[in-house]
Structure formats: C-alpha cells, structure tokens
Structure 1
C-alpha cells in the first residue's frame, strides 16, 4: 500500500512491480535540469515566473525535496506547461523516467558533436588550403623578399620575420596539421551521419569514395575552371575545399588555386593529369573486399567512358568483363557527387 499522502498512479508499474510515479519523475527531472544548468532554486522560480507562471523559491524546494514520508508538493497543470516551456521539451516528456531524459540528452549531445565536427572539418580544410597557399608563395624568393620588406617597413625584427616564414614552411608542422584533419574526418565517419548514430555493420557502412572526390575535382579543373571568368573561380574552388584536402590534391592544385585567388589564370593540365594517374592507381590495385572492389571498378568505369561515345550499360559491363549488377552499383559510387552535390 502506498504511504499516506504520497501521490501515485497505481496503474503505472514497471516489470519489477515498482511504481513509476509521474509527479516524482517530474520532480527528479526538475532537479536534473537545474543541476545541468547550474540553476539555484531561486533561479528556477524566476524562470517559471518569466514563463508566465509566478512561482516562489519555497515552492521549488517543496517539489524537489520530498518530506520524510516521501510525499512532495503537487505540481499544477500551469506549472507543468511552464516547466516544459522553460526546459525546451515537449510536455509529454516531463513525467517520463529519468533514464529517458538522460538518454535523449546524450543523444542530442552526440548529434551536436557530429554537427560541430562537420563544421570543424570544413573550417579545418579552408585553414589547410590557406596554409598551402602560404607555403607555395613562401617557396618563391621574390615573395619572401616582398613579405620581409613589408614587415621591415612596420619595424618588425628581421629575425622574427624569418621565424614566421620558417614556421609556415615547416614540413613537420604541415604534416601534423594534415594528419589532424585526417583523424577528425575518420572519427566523424565512424560516428555516422548525424541522424542515426547507431554504428552500422562494418560491411554495410558506406565508405567515403575517393573516386567520387577525384571525379568532382576533375570536372572542376578540366571543364569548369577553363570556361569560367577568373573572378568566379575562387568561389568554385571554395566549394571543393574538403575534397581537395581529403584526396591530398591541394598541393598539386595550389598553383592554380593561388593564381585565381590573385586574379590571374593558370593552366590546369598538371592537375587533371595527376587526377587521372590516381584514378588509374585505384583501378589497378588489388581489392581487399567488395567495397574496395566496387571503388576500383568505379575508377575503371570513369576512365573507360571518358571521351567514348555513349554505350549501353550492358555493353560497358561486357567490355569491362563485369556483371551488369556490379557495373550499376560501381557507377553509382563514381557519380555520387553529381547526385548529392557532395562537397
């Protein structure tokens, strides 16, 4: 029998027979929300008052601190609505057991980490691209002299200027920075897509396609850049920054990138040749598993169809000596960037 004066719902029991008390859950939720926000009872009362439900600190104390007999101050409907509004949750979530609240909070945090991590990779890629431009420019004696002269005019110590240039040209620092990006990218891949963070089975997990990245870059450097006004090219490059860093193509392409950022043209042949070389490497390598096989086949498809007249899928599959099913699946990988607008 419940303790006298203790509010309970006799119909709500869990599998072990322990009663699940809605008002007790609300009280526990209030205390938990206060702790995670660092709010005092006075602050909690003020938040409810601001939400249109005038509340005194003593009322909060009586809700979160049970009496010796286990009873608590009752919570009105108006207070429950104000609590849900203050905590930013649906009203029906308020009386749920605390393990539900904790689980949802952790899930929300995991999604925040994923989202912010994705933003971080984008910012990190731009940072590396800017650093690559610095390294490219400082490799030229004329540019170094211009920078040293600029700093000298501002009375910067020559030794300090030399140290600054050496820092940006340091190969070990550059390797550490690019390794940091690679590690962050791998972590985010392992975490999932930010919607369902349950780790998928290893075989079914979609790997990031280097072929799709390389084809996106080839389309840019072989077709778009040569036919686009100089002033527009930096914006085009801006949208493929992550692909450049993921594939390690930024150093090969940096001469083109830097020229267009400064408003001048630059031939792109060296970049497209390097992309084709890497696609051939992927196409020729010995696959380790099916996903690797499809990636390799995707590279072969991309190279095979370049400059060729339109052929039926069946004819191309026969030419490559693969099944039509494998051909169609690999082709989706090769041209995924066109379907998704992948950055």
Structure 2
C-alpha cells in the first residue's frame, strides 16, 4: 500500500495511534466549544483571525465536518495555539478526549456555583438575622398586638394573621431555616475555596475556625459597639452577620441587635459573657486532632488577652501557656484569621 493510500485509509489511520486520535479529539473539541458558546463557523473563523491566525469559514467547516471516508482537514501548530488561546485552555488540553473537556466544563461550573453560593450564604445569614429579630419582637405581647392591629387595618383576616405570626415564632420552622444555612455552609466548605477543589500537594485544607468568629464577635460587642454612635452600630452588625449565624450567637445577641436597629443603645455584657463561655468551653474540650488542639490553644490565648494586644514578646506568652513558640503563633493565626483574609 502506498503512503498516499495509507493516509486516505481510515482504518490504517486509526491504527497509527495517538496522532489521528488527537486530531479527531481537537475537531470534536472545536465543535463542542462552538456549540456551548453558540458560535457559527464564521464566528469561529473570526475569533481565530483576531487571535493572530487568519482563518476562513470554509477551513472550520472542513475541520469539524469529516469527509465520507472519515478524514478531516489537518490542523496546523499555529491554529492549535490560536484555538487554545480563543478557548482559554492550556494547549495540552486541546487534544484530550471529550470526557476530559466535559469534566473541565463541570469543574468551571462548580467554581461558579461555589462563588455564587458564598454570596448566597451571606444573604441567607441576613435573612436569618431578620427572622431572629422578628421572633424576638413577636414574643413580646405589646409588639404582637401592634402587628395584629396593623394587619387588621390592611384587611388581613385574623386567621391568616395568626397563622403568619405562628409560623415566624414556630421553633421547628426556625430550626429548619437555620439547618438549611448550616447545610449550605458545610457543602461550600467541602467544595474548597472557590478557586480549586483540591488543596496544594502536601497541605491539608484548614477547617473553618469558630474561634475566629468568636474573637471577631468579642471585639465587636466588647469594644466597638460600646464606643460607637448608636446610628452606626447597625452597619457594624450587618457586616458581622455571617459570623453571628455561624457561631450561633444570634439568639443571645438579638436583644442588643434589635435595640440598636431601632435606634436605642443596649448593654452588651451578656453577649460578651456568652462568647467567653463558648471560648472556655472550646479551650477545655479534649482535642481529637491537631486542628482541635490548635483551636483550643487559640481560645485559651484569646481568653488570656481579653481582646487586648499583649505587650510581652511572643516567646514569653508561649512559655506562660506551656507551649512552643511555633504552636503559639499558629494558634494566633487561627484566632485572628479574619484579619488576615479580610473576611468581613
């Protein structure tokens, strides 16, 4: 069989191995990328031309539409480089089988979901905080009567108003709503940081630290709120909503939150006491792994400092706690992670 016959024989071409398979994969990838973007062959040719590889629509047609014998127009190196640039993928991904391309597409979608989901947890936290305020107010007979009177003026039937109030106050409804937030938060944690689903080699992904939330909330309720004008406090609380919900402090803090939202100052001592109680609980618990141990140490460190920046050298502070300087510094990182990451 001549070389020309071998090139035109689809069976012989398939037996040649990776080269024909790769060219077929590239052609399938081009067709797939065009479909998902809604691009015509003319648009595809324009994109390659703009990427520095002048291409005519007929060339795209010959690549994506095989001849009756199964052969396709060959793709040059320059075209392959331009294709990778247009599709926003690495050059080595271009000839991979289509299931790899589908996996990459799903991965990109999961990154989008993770990012949007993190925005959703913030909105969900604000929703729960508003619900907690409503429950707090409706538990007061005077407020409940005022709401019932308001609804009656709007010609809402008494039974309907009663059902609505009962729903907002219902313990099971509230538990279901908070459980929904916790589930969403856990899923997003499991999915990673929104940029990559796998941690760097040899590095375990750090679990979210409740100590960091408690430290942040302690600073808010012990220092910032008492020293801030009443009208500014609601905005401070708004930006701490996720930490409140994650730490489960909203029930304790709701009296303070609601008072400031209505323009009235309110003592914060009971909230600070609850935060300190939670920190002591964490510091006293038996650790199951190193992460738990560092969480416990972070809680002890926070309680020792009571929100104040220590003046002693870290080596002395570590010695007071009976730990190494490395462990002390790692625990401090956990306690103050919100400052390092810019977490609101």
Normalised to the residue count of structure 2, the TM-score between the two structures is 0.83
Aligned partner of 1:157 in structure 2 is 157
Aligned partner of 2:314 in structure 1 is 313
Aligned partner of 2:52 in structure 1 is none
Aligned partner of 1:216 in structure 2 is 216
Aligned partner of 2:40 in structure 1 is 44
- Say if 1:104 and 1:52 are closer, same or farther in 2 by CA, change over 3 A: closer
Shift of 1:36: 4.0
- Say if 1:311 and 1:90 are closer, same or farther in 2 by CA, change over 3 A: closer
Indicate yes or no: 2:325 matched with 1:324: yes
Deviates more, 1:324-333 or 1:300-309: 300-309
Q: Residues 1-343 of structure 1: matches in 2 within 5 Å?
A: 3-4=6-7, 17-20=17-20, 24-36=24-36, 39=38, 44-45=40-41, 47-48=43-44, 63-72=63-72, 88-89=87-88, 92=91, 95-99=94-98, 100-198=100-198, 204-306=204-306, 310-343=311-344
- Once residues 256 and 24 of structure 2 are traced to their aligned partners in structure 1, the CA distance between those partners, rounded to angstroms, is 66
- Say if 1:155 and 1:65 are closer, same or farther in 2 by CA, change over 3 A: same
Deviates more, 1:21-30 or 1:87-96: 87-96
CA deviations on 1:258-316 (whole Å, 9 max, x unpaired) are 12222221111111111011111111111111110111011111111226962222222
Shift of 1:75: 7.2
Matched residue SS, 2:19: coil
CA RMSD of aligned residues (A): 3.5
Give yes or no for contact 2:44–2:60 (8 Å, CA) kept in 1: no
Give yes or no for contact 1:298–1:333 (8 Å, CA) kept in 2: yes
CA deviations on 1:42-66 (whole Å, 9 max, x unpaired) are x62464588698987x986654331
Deviates more, 1:62-71 or 1:198-207: 198-207
Deviates more, 1:266-275 or 1:95-104: 95-104
Give yes or no for contact 1:81–1:91 (8 Å, CA) kept in 2: no
Give yes or no for contact 1:48–1:83 (8 Å, CA) kept in 2: no
Q: Which has the higher helix share?
A: 2
- Once residues 268 and 223 of structure 1 are traced to their aligned partners in structure 2, the CA distance between those partners, rounded to angstroms, is 10
Normalised to the residue count of structure 1, the TM-score between the two structures is 0.83
- Say if 1:296 and 1:90 are closer, same or farther in 2 by CA, change over 3 A: closer
Give yes or no for contact 1:230–1:264 (8 Å, CA) kept in 2: yes
- Once residues 8 and 46 of structure 2 are traced to their aligned partners in structure 1, the CA distance between those partners, rounded to angstroms, is 31
- Once residues 105 and 309 of structure 2 are traced to their aligned partners in structure 1, the CA distance between those partners, rounded to angstroms, is 54
- Once residues 148 and 268 of structure 1 are traced to their aligned partners in structure 2, the CA distance between those partners, rounded to angstroms, is 31
- Once residues 203 and 48 of structure 1 are traced to their aligned partners in structure 2, the CA distance between those partners, rounded to angstroms, is 41
Give yes or no for contact 2:84–2:90 (8 Å, CA) kept in 1: yes
- Say if 1:255 and 1:314 are closer, same or farther in 2 by CA, change over 3 A: same
Give yes or no for contact 1:23–1:95 (8 Å, CA) kept in 2: no
- Once residues 78 and 326 of structure 1 are traced to their aligned partners in structure 2, the CA distance between those partners, rounded to angstroms, is 54
Deviates more, 1:286-295 or 1:92-101: 92-101
Shift of 1:252: 0.9
CA deviations on 1:24-78 (whole Å, 9 max, x unpaired) are 34421233235545x5xxx62464588698987x986654331221123567999
Q: Which runs of 5+ in 1 are unaligned?
A: none
Q: Which runs of 5+ in 2 are unaligned?
A: 50-54
